[in-house]
Amino acid sequence: MNITIENILLVGSLLLLISILIGKTSYRFGIPTLVLFLFVGILAGSEGIGKIYFDNPRLAQFIGVVSLNFILFSGGLDTNWKAIKPVLWQGISLSTLGVLLTAVSLGTFVWLVTDFSIYEGLLLGAIVSSTDAAAVFSILRSKNLALKNKLKPTLELESGSNDPMAYVLTIAFLGLVVNPEQSILSVIPLFLKQMIIGGLAGLAFGKLTKFIVNKIQLTYEGIYPVLVISLMFITFSATDFIGGNGFLSIYICAVYLANHDFIHKGTIIKMFDSLAWLMQIVLFLTLGLLVFPSHILPVIGIGLVISLFLILIARPVSVFLALLPFKMKPRRRFYISWVGLRGAVPIVFATYPLLAGIEKADMIFNIVFFISLTSVLLQGTTLNLVAKWLHVSLPEQVKPEDPLDTFLSEQAKKVMQEITILEDGFASGKKIVDLHFPRTALIAMINRNKEYLTPNGSTVIEPNDILIILADTQQAMDEVHEALQTTPEQKATDD
């Protein structure tokens, strides 16, 4: 069946619905949801029961880049700086040196066991060198894994920040395949330019986004998420235009926003979480449609050899070497190496050789698809089991709860105070978003001239307002007083 304007909405919505319904029951059988999305796309494809013919790598790449924008931005918004700060340098080492070592070791192996040239081998290694943010975020959070010793933030930081490195290596080695007379040292200036500009641009756009969201006054709350989406794409495209890495830029931008106050933050984060799931489904469906199973069969043998080398040798060796400067028990290193999930990102990157028209582009794409599939199936289904074997998981009864979820539960709202704002008070005339409240406290209502208002981040505090504050602990309430620069004597009641 050909995709037309008349049936694209029906077919697309049915595929989404089927993916969601299948994904709902997938974990009963221990199968990662993302794999099922991929299989739905394959079954709907030209060689499946759906007979939808789709052979457009350029469109698939466009969908992939747009989807990765949402996935990485959402992952950044879920990143707590306090959680990643202790493991920051470990994550950076894994996402740069670890990716480079994986690409070089796997590329060399491919060169030795196939008829690929060294540059073609390194290109294949670069394409599959990064862990997949969509797969890691999805599987870790869906399985609700509680891991010891900051393992979870390390894994999420690595997966969220290593795609830029893999992208740079992919573009660099693709250039060497197309122009083999170039020196391999030409990769270094490209890497430095992409990373430095990408990092600085991400921080700058993060500050700019916060400023715009807090200062602009929009009539409807629902427009704010649309504003942030537009700023996200501006961040990506503008960074790419000036020669930086757009993927790194949007991730850093989102991490900056996640750890600063801005208007309607909760609404925006929830919306991006939903959009990230939608983009994951769309991305895996698209890639499933793009692949032809009959083209995969001839590369299963060599694909399995390369995949096993990546999972059992290249990834573990790279992790151990990247983490050599840090104190870490071997079992933690082994677990980090096991969570080297490959998913949609390598398949998206594999469309670049297709569009460049290099000789072995089709074979590279099919091998990469097989590697991603085996990685998610083998590693994704055994994360809990391996965590227990290596004793890096926490017992069920001591799994830490998300502080925000705990706070929002009824039992967590243990402290309430009504605080009166004086005419010359620090908070008088300021927006709530500019007061930097602790995350575990909120202004539930404002009593203004005996009328009760439900505030949001853009609400301006006025003199003589009585703020009804809810917090989970007395310490959080003390932090509220610090933010408002008030004293406990200004409270009206205290439950």
* CATH number for 292: 1.20.1530.20
Same domain, 194 and 96: yes
Total domains, the chain: 2
Same domain, 457 and 387: no
Same domain, 468 and 391: no
**Last residue within a domain, chosen from 398, 425, 443:** 398
Which range has the worst mean pLDDT, 22-31, 185-194, 341-350, 433-442? 22-31
* DSSP H helices in 361-448: 361-378, 383-389, 403-408
For tokens 């243990």, name the residue. Answer: 414
Residue with the larger pLDDT of the pair 135 and 303:
303
pLDDT classification of 202: cutoffs 50, 70, 90: very high
Mean pLDDT of the chain: 83
For the sheet with 491-494, list strands across it: 451-453, 441-448, 466-471, 415-420, 491-494
Residues with Cβ within 8 Å of residue 230, at least 6 apart in sequence: none
**Last residue within a domain, chosen from 380, 398, 416:** 398
Same domain, 477 and 446: yes
Same domain, 365 and 245: yes
Q: What tens digit of pLDDT does each residue of 441-473 get?
A: 878 888 888 788 878 777 888 888 888 888 877
Same domain, 338 and 273: yes
Confirm whether 485 is domain-assigned. yes
pLDDT classification of 103: cutoffs 50, 70, 90: very high
pLDDT over threshold 70, residue 3: no
| Positive or negative torsion for Cα 382, 166, 281, 283 | negative
Confirm whether 465 is domain-assigned. yes
Neighbours of 204 (CB within 10 A): 17
**Last residue within a domain, chosen from 398, 426, 451:** 398
Q: Model's pTM, two decimal places?
A: 0.77
Structural domain that includes position 330: 8-398
Same domain, 421 and 325: no
Same domain, 34 and 70: yes
pLDDT over threshold 90, residue 376: no
Same domain, 250 and 350: yes
Confirm whether 1 is domain-assigned. no
pLDDT above 90 covers what percent of the chain? 29
Confirm whether 387 is domain-assigned. yes
Same domain, 22 and 153: yes
| Domain CATH code at residue 407 | 3.30.70.1450
Confirm whether 14 is domain-assigned. yes
Token pair recorded at residue 364: 């590279």
Confirm whether 281 is domain-assigned. yes
Confirm whether 167 is domain-assigned. yes
CA distance linking residue 439 with residue 268, whole number of Å? 16
Same domain, 25 and 108: yes
- By C-alpha distance, which of 102, 149, 157, 167 is closest to 133? 157
Same domain, 439 and 356: no
Confirm whether 2 is domain-assigned. no
Q: What is the mean pLDDT of residues 120-127?
A: 94
Helix (H, G, I), strand (E, B) or coil at 424: coil
